[in-house]
Amino acid sequence: MSQILNGEREDDLKQSAALLCNGGLLAVPTETVYGLAADASNEDAVRKVFAVKGRPLLDPLIVHVCDLEHAGAIAELSEEATCLAKTFWPGALTMVLPKKPCVPDVVTAGQPTVAVRSPAHPVMRRVLALSGLGLAAPSANPFGYVSPTTAQHVQDSLGERLAFILDGGVCEHGLESTIIDLSHPAEPKLLRPGPIGVEVLEAVLGKSIEVFEKSASDDCAQLAPGMLSKHYSPRTRMQLCAKPHAELEGAKDERIALLYLCKPSADILERVDDMPVYWCTESDALEDAARQLFALMRRLDGQGYDCILAEAAPNEGIGVAINNRLERACAS
């Protein structure tokens, strides 16, 4: 079991910073998902992050920094990168930039670029400030599994392998950050959709952003090594569909759960009366559904269903990121 530190207690924050400064690992809250943090300049500490997650060393990590100045110490900041950071930091935007020599190869999987983000969560910001470190942190889940959005999720899946978790409550967005590749600033690429929509980034940059589409073979995932098609997956089989209640025929022998984003209409609920039906939020806001989605996927994963039929979001705004995660969870 991990020991859970309280992000509202000054002593626990100091202990957290000291742990990291001494080469230890700590699960930390961010506004997107919980991360598994280590001092980015300490190669041994970073190697432990890969080991605890069971993550291949070819999949590089995001370095979390306090601010733009701190980012400039580890990466080359183009005009475009500076402009996006000034607009969206602190926040859910990660930028892939040319790295400076001080960043160890183990962090970037030997690539000439480094992914950088300045997170907004006040507890994470305190840890960054108290430690003075850049923190390499992937999501705090076993490689390939659903990302954690509470301290308890981290405890559930990494508790046996991790000494400390810093609790900062439920993550505000519940989905991982948007990742933009600005290593060639004239040709920005979206590597992962997230809470900050691509249209919003395009408006600020004043140019269009190419959306990186993974090609058929996962070998081509080298450009964005974590962009493997199967990811964020519960153990239970999942299937993405426009209307889960319309997919039930011919599946009589299976234990099926229906997973909706927002609460389905009374009409639909009546039609699936005898089925286990779940929804992420009582509200009709997709942002609320996004915040709860991973928690619900984890909960359903423990209930012995043969299959989860999951509802796709309208493909706009945060819906793009929701569908991206659901598609990966459904990839077999």
Binding mask 159-188 for ligand TXA (x = CB under 6 A): -----------------xx-x---------
Name which of 190 and 309 has its Cβ closer to ligand TXA: 190
- Does 24 bind ligand TXA (CB under 6 A)? Our answer is no
Structure tokens at 314: 């309208």
Name which of 256 and 318 has its Cβ closer to Mg ion: 318
Identify which range of 41-49, 224-232, 269-277, 319-327 contacts ligand TXA by CB under 6 A: 224-232
Q: Which of 111, 139, 155, 233 binds Mg ion (CB under 5 A)?
A: 139
Identify which range of 10-18, 39-47, 114-122, 256-264 contacts ligand TXA by CB under 6 A: 114-122
- What length is written for the chain? 332
Q: How far is the CB of 30 from ligand TXA (least distance, A)?
A: 5
Of 245-264, binders to ligand TXA (CB under 6 A) are none
SS3 of residue 224 by DSSP: coil
Q: Which of 38, 114, 133, 198 binds ligand TXA (CB under 6 A)?
A: 114
Q: How far is the CB of 145 from Mg ion (least distance, A)?
A: 9
Residues whose CB is less than 8 angstroms from the CB of residue 282 and which lie 6 or more positions away in sequence, other chains included = 262, 263
- C-alpha 60, offset from chain centre: 14
The DSSP code for 60 is -
Angle (deg, nearest 10), helices 318-330 and 286-301: 20
- Does 149 bind ligand TXA (CB under 6 A)? Our answer is no
Name which of 42 and 108 has its Cβ closer to ligand TXA: 108
Name which of 94 and 236 has its Cβ closer to ligand TXA: 94
SS3 of residue 97 by DSSP: strand
What is the rounded CA–CA span in Å between residue 34 and residue 37? 9
Residue 263 has phi, psi (to 5 degrees) of -60, 125
94 binds, among Mg ion, ligand TXA, none (CB under 5 to 8 A by kind): ligand TXA
Name which of 139 and 323 has its Cβ closer to Mg ion: 139
What is the rounded CA–CA span in Å between residue 234 and residue 301? 6
Q: Which of 14, 43, 57, 59 binds ligand TXA (CB under 6 A)?
A: 59
What is the rounded CA–CA span in Å between residue 206 and residue 203? 5
Q: Which of 78, 131, 139, 323 binds ligand TXA (CB under 6 A)?
A: 139
Give me the helices (H) in the chain, please: 10-21, 43-53, 68-74, 79-88, 105-108, 122-131, 151-158, 198-205, 266-271, 286-301, 318-330
The DSSP code for 59 is S
| Number of Cβ within a 10 Å radius of residue 211 | 11
Which spans of this chain sit near ligand TXA (rule: CB under 6 A)?
A: 30, 32-33, 35, 59-62, 94, 96, 108, 111, 113-115, 117, 137-139, 176-177, 179, 191, 224-227
